[in-house]
Structure 1
Amino acid sequence: MEEFEEYIKQGEPHKKEKGYAWLTAIGLQAVDGLKPSSYLIQTARQHIEGDITIDEVKHLVDSYYKSKAIRTDIEDRTEEADKVSARITEILSEKTFKFSPVEYITIHRRLFEGIYKFAGKIRDYNITKKEWVLKGDTVLYASAGIIRDTLDYDFAQEKDFDYKGLNIDEAIRHITKFVSGIWQIHAFGEGNTRTTAVFTIKYLRTFGFNISNEAFVNHSWYFRNALVRANYNNLTNGIYATTEYIERFFRNLILNEKNELKNRYLLIEELDNQTIKSANSLNADTPKSKNCTLGCTLEEMAVLTYLKEKPNATQKEIAAHIGKSERTIKTITIKLSEKGMIERKNGKRNGYWEIKINDSNN
């Protein structure tokens, strides 16, 4: 959004971080066709400038909507967009996170408390949703009676999964399946996609990645449609669930690739004309991230991504950012050096890390 462009391009680090959080929060409203008010944009700018805290933002927005005179001039769900945007910004700015179903449910409660009566509550009824991308058909969501058990199972499986030794493509593929799986459970009557997106961003940060906010800022509706396609089968018409589209989104999100994300590619009627192209063929001519290599593990990718942004970082700083021990970071940097992907320049005291790989290495 142009309103925050100055903070992203030229702002101080803390202003840039706040700007990205607001951009992501506002962009996510598009998954439900919502758009925040100009008042919210103005208030967000005050927060980014440091004039008010996020708590004051929420208070101002609440007060704004208590005026009946104002509410009559505003679309019904603009209030929801404004309040949820502020709450997403708050959650994304926090440094706390616990990987658990309780955290997932708590995020929903925090986002929609006072907006939906069922905020933070698992739905107790079955649902269907007519999807544009499916020409009016619906994904089969989890039955109400098994939601909590299914959610607990998926989280337990992911928690026990070992990413060690996986290359980045395998890791992204696995994370994609986990996210699309918990989304398909559809634990909440409304706000399911926004909750899943916020949880996903927080979860990915535990791997040491600085998420590319542009993906959610400009392509949040694609994110939802890709999740739909990852969970829809119509064998009679030769249509199978595929994660290829959501994987393209995640590669942009994590690796800052430039895969083309067009909603029309996801329409089921388009598949006949495309003869159901594979993810590889769709990505064949797309520029890849400089750090994308089959030889990297998820941890190595996190280190490479961080060093690309901060080449002067010490092993202690890398360890703090990635969430690993200094010994582990030392092992990773040695392996990356042996692979010819990084090189230490100018010695130990005043040195820096040089990234040696480029687009031609992929």
Structure 2
Amino acid sequence: MRDPYLYEDVPVLRNLLGIKTQELLDEAEADYVVYRLKDLVTHPLPGDYHTDHFLNMHQQIFQDIFDWAGCPRTIAIYKEEDVLGGQSVEYSDPFDIVTDIHHVLKNMREKDWNLMDTAELANQFCESLAALWKIHPFREGNTRTTVTFCCQFIDEQGRHINRKLFEDNAGYVRTALVAYNAYFADGSDFRKKEYLYKIVYDAFKNN
């Protein structure tokens, strides 16, 4: 099945800039996204941390690049991961995305964040962050959106986190999220939670 998000003549995501080479798109995307992310630090996105708020976060970050920014993907996705020996994390089915986001965010909002010590705070933040990321609601931009959204949420709970640590170690964070979610429908479980926990714990200790 052809990926409807790609141009018909080149394997590059359709974009508002009309760019058809991956290298140029990556450069342009980085420039626009960095600007939007910096703006979100000083001007948090208003909302109640329900599903629409999360979708709006993606729209805010990627509005300059994709006309589908803020819209859940309509196709299944499979991403080969070196850390999983070429396997992909089992992301949510397109038909389940909205329901899955609803359940994860409901659970996140109901936690007693202010009663937790730093170790438990880091543990519970990892659980919520990883569960929301595993849904992978968008065709592109899931890690940046999920991390930004969860950091804004926890800041608003009065439990401040060092976002720069995530920004400066973006590759590590994504690999850690993959390792955290390395369990599969057939019962196989290769999860390594300690990598994500380490950087999250450090981000709370050094905020």
2:154 aligns to what?
204
1:56 aligns to what?
none
**How far apart, in 2, do the equivalents of 1:161 and 1:214 lie?**
25
**How far apart, in 1, do the equivalents of 2:93 and 2:25 lie?**
30
- Relative distance call for 1:91 and 1:251 in structure 2 (3 A) is same
* Contact map agreement 1:141 1:184 (CA 8 A) in 2: yes
The answer as to 2:141 corresponding to 1:186 is no
- TM-score normalised according to structure 1 size: 0.48
SS of equivalent to 1:75? helix
**How far apart, in 2, do the equivalents of 1:119 and 1:153 lie?**
22
* Contact map agreement 1:84 1:112 (CA 8 A) in 2: yes
- Relative distance call for 1:139 and 1:95 in structure 2 (3 A) is closer
SS of equivalent to 1:215? helix
One of 54, 66, 73 as aligned partner of 1:123: 73
2:28 aligns to what?
79
One of 145, 158, 167 as aligned partner of 2:108: 158
Gaps of 5+ in 1: 1-61, 257-304, 306-362
Q: Which runs of 4+ in 1 moved over 4 A?
A: none
- TM-score normalised according to structure 2 size: 0.80
**How far apart, in 2, do the equivalents of 1:164 and 1:249 lie?**
20
The answer as to 2:49 corresponding to 1:108 is no
2:4 aligns to what?
none
- Relative distance call for 1:214 and 1:108 in structure 2 (3 A) is closer
Relative contact order higher in (CA < 8 Å, ≥ 6 apart): 2
One of 152, 158, 175 as aligned partner of 1:225: 175
**How far apart, in 2, do the equivalents of 1:87 and 1:136 lie?**
32
* Contact map agreement 1:229 1:241 (CA 8 A) in 2: yes
**How far apart, in 2, do the equivalents of 1:120 and 1:126 lie?**
17
* Contact map agreement 1:97 1:202 (CA 8 A) in 2: no
Pairing of 1:127-276 with structure 2 (within 5 A): 127-233=77-183, 240-256=190-206
Gaps of 5+ in 2: 1-15
C-alpha displacement of 1:138: 0.6
**How far apart, in 1, do the equivalents of 2:74 and 2:153 lie?**
27
Q: Highest Rg: 1 or 2?
A: 1
Residues paired across the two proteins, number: 189
- Relative distance call for 1:133 and 1:248 in structure 2 (3 A) is same
**How far apart, in 2, do the equivalents of 1:117 and 1:235 lie?**
33
**How far apart, in 2, do the equivalents of 1:215 and 1:96 lie?**
21
C-alpha displacement of 1:75: 2.8
C-alpha displacement of 1:181: 0.0
SS of equivalent to 1:197? helix
Q: Deviations over 1:4-31 (max 9, x none)?
A: xxxxxxxxxxxxxxxxxxxxxxxxxxxx
Q: Deviations over 1:43-70 (max 9, x none)?
A: xxxxxxxxxxxxxxxxxxx9xx89x9xx
Pairing of 1:328-339 with structure 2 (within 5 A): none
- Relative distance call for 1:169 and 1:137 in structure 2 (3 A) is same
Output the amino acid matched with 1:149: T
**How far apart, in 2, do the equivalents of 1:239 and 1:222 lie?**
21
RMSD: 2.8
**How far apart, in 2, do the equivalents of 1:114 and 1:235 lie?**
37
